[in-house]
């Protein structure tokens, strides 16, 4: 018996030695326990990141990437500042806004419990126990070098530091090391605060109200289609440059192309309400409500009488409201090279999968999405779903003509 126990212990020790020799850089990502993240717990460690900037959905990607970085380092992410304004080059126009003014802090931690966590600065015990880490950038800073840096700082040697503060560029531009499913999990936990959610519901109610006035059959609810019309002047400049660099011709779409392709979506039966999600102040064409197929009734913010309602909010909140309105639509049509459209389709794909449908291409399902920048065989926009098994978020965060269907 003693001999058997000795042999077992010997094999166990040898296995651990071999594992250590063969996998010296392996990264341990533990499943967080509830007690590990109680404020004041000695084991609670934090990650601090730079202020998050750019558009709404780039900020959501940056936030998710920061969460997943913190998870890899076995730490909780300190609540970051978002940016209320649309940031290009003016540093003084960032207008920081706290994360919990946009997304429900408690709901996030409840939904993402055991996966990732966001903490408040008041949870920090010793603010001087800080390690500053410079995040690399430039062509020489490869995906591999970035991953090596994360592996290094995930070692127990760095557990002596209560907080690791990452210095450098916006998390949206960090290298990506996680599958789409990990990002999708974080996005699922992002729930708008009640005030913004209520405003979004008011917009949806307004759209439904116009639809009810047009319905011909009491048993038939007039559907509404949300169209993310990326025809603003800033997008047209960006997409034309992107087409030249990528040698791809189906990134930009004119108003006429969008109207023609939407008209060919076979599942749409008149009367249909069209909500045009567009930044009216950046439009050079004020005729977006003209030219639509008979039976399709287009509405933008101005025609809905909501211009002042939207103008009372910052850019970020306006975009968050529009995002929810598009998410709740019966049908969504967007541009596959737009981050806004791509993240919407990701969430709509998740909603479809939860109904038990794993692959909706060609099926008559709820919440279908279409990519108008790609022309189908019959002149219609093809169905669009997110490939949740993708190993990288690159196609979503930087745009692609790969739409799974």
pLDDT digits (tens, 9 = 90+) for 231-240: 988 888 889 9
Note whether 174 and 299 are same-domain residues: no
Question: Which of 20-29, 85-94, 118-127, 184-193 has the weakest average pLDDT?
Answer: 20-29
Give the separation between CA 307 and CA 389, rounded to whole angstroms: 40
Give the separation between CA 390 and CA 64, rounded to whole angstroms: 16
Residue at a domain's end among 189, 208, 242: 189
Residue 137: phi and psi, rounded to 5, are: -155, 175
* Mean pLDDT (the chain, rounded): 86
| pLDDT score, position 27 | 44
Q: Number of H helices and number of E strands within the chain? A: 12, 12
Note whether 145 and 257 are same-domain residues: no
Here the CATH number for the domain that contains residue 330 is 3.40.50
Note whether 259 and 375 are same-domain residues: yes
Note whether 216 and 179 are same-domain residues: no
Query: Is residue 403 within 8 Å of residue 382, measured between CB atoms?
Result: yes
Q: What is the pLDDT of residues 9-38, one digit of tens each?
A: 666 656 555 544 444 344 445 555 555 555
Range of the domain at 126: 27-189
Q: Where are the extended beta strands (E) located within 317-361?
A: 331-334
Note whether 153 and 227 are same-domain residues: no
Count the domains in the chain.
Answer: 2
Q: What is the pLDDT of residues 129-167, one digit of tens each?
A: 999 999 988 889 999 999 999 999 999 899 999 999 999
Note whether 299 and 165 are same-domain residues: no
CA separation (Å) from 122 to 29, 111, 128, 195? 25, 22, 14, 25
Q: Does any domain span residue 257? A: yes
Residue at a domain's end among 156, 189, 222: 189
Note whether 169 and 250 are same-domain residues: no
| pLDDT score, position 91 | 53
Q: Does any domain span residue 207? A: yes
In which band, very low, low, confident or very high, does the pLDDT at 214 lie, cut at 50, 70 and 90? confident
Note whether 179 and 201 are same-domain residues: no
Rg (CA), the chain: 24
Q: Which residues pair with 163 in a beta bridge?
A: 46, 130
Q: Does any domain span residue 122? A: yes
| pLDDT score, position 29 | 53
Q: Which of 301, 314, 404, 307 lies closest to 361, judged by CA?
A: 404
Give the separation between CA 186 and CA 77, rounded to whole angstroms: 13
Give the separation between CA 211 and CA 317, rounded to whole angstroms: 25
Q: Does any domain span residue 259? A: yes
Question: Given a cut of 90, is residue 363 above it in pLDDT?
Answer: no
Q: Does any domain span residue 404? A: no
Q: What is the pLDDT of residues 253-294, one digit of tens each?
A: 999 999 999 999 988 888 899 999 998 777 777 889 999 999
Q: Does any domain span residue 10? A: no
Max mean pLDDT among 27-41, 55-69, 86-100 falls in 55-69
Note whether 251 and 391 are same-domain residues: yes
Q: Which of 328, 129, 332, 303 lies closest to 227, judged by CA?
A: 332
Residue at a domain's end among 170, 189, 208: 189
Q: Does any domain span residue 11? A: no
Q: Does any domain span residue 403? A: no
Note whether 211 and 169 are same-domain residues: no
Note whether 139 and 223 are same-domain residues: no
Note whether 181 and 208 are same-domain residues: no
């Amino acid at each position: 018996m003693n001999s058997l126990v000795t042999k077992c212990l010997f094999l166990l020790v040898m296995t651990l030695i071999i594992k250590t020799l063969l996998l010296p850089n392996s990264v341990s990502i533990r499943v967080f326990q509830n007690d590990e993240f109680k404020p004041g717990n000695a084991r609670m460690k934090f990650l601090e990141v730079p202020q998050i900037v750019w558009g709404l959905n780039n900020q959501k990607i940056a936030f998710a990437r920061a969460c997943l970085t913190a998870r890899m380092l076995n730490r909780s992410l300190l609540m970051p500042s978002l940016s209320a304004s649309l940031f290009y080059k003016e540093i003084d126009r960032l207008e920081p806004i706290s994360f919990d003014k946009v997304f429900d802090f408690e709901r996030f931690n409840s939904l993402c419990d055991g996966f990732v966590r966001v903490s408040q600065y008041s949870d920090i015990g010793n603010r001087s126990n800080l390690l500053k880490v410079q995040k690399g950038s430039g062509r020489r800073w490869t995906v591999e070098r970035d991953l090596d840096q994360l592996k290094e700082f995930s070692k127990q040697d760095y557990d002596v530091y209560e907080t690791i503060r990452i210095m450098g560029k916006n998390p949206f531009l960090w290298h990506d090391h996680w599958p789409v499913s990990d990002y999708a999990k974080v996005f699922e936990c992002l729930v708008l605060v009640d005030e913004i959610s209520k405003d979004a519901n008011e917009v949806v109610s307004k759209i439904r109200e116009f639809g009810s006035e047009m319905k011909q059959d009491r048993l038939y609810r007039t559907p509404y289609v949300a169209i993310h019309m990326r025809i603003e002047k800033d997008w047209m400049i960006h997409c034309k440059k992107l087409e030249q660099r990528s040698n791809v011709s189906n990134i930009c779409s004119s108003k006429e192309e969008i109207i023609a392709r939407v008209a060919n979506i076979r599942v749409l039966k008149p009367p249909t309400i069209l909500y045009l999600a567009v930044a009216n102040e950046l439009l050079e064409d004020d005729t977006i409500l003209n030219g639509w197929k008979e039976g399709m009734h287009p509405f933008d913010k101005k025609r809905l009488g909501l211009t002042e309602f939207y103008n009372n909010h910052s850019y970020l909140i306006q975009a968050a409201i529009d995002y929810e309105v598009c998410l709740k639509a019966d049908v969504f049509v967007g541009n596959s090279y737009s981050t806004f459209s791509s993240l919407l389709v990701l969430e709509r794909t998740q909603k479809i999968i939860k109904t038990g449908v794993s692959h909706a291409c060609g099926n008559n399902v709820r919440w279908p999405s279409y990519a108008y920048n790609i022309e189908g065989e019959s002149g219609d926009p093809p169905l669009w779903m997110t490939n949740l098994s993708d190993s990288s978020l690159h196609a979503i965060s930087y745009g692609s003509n790969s739409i799974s269907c």
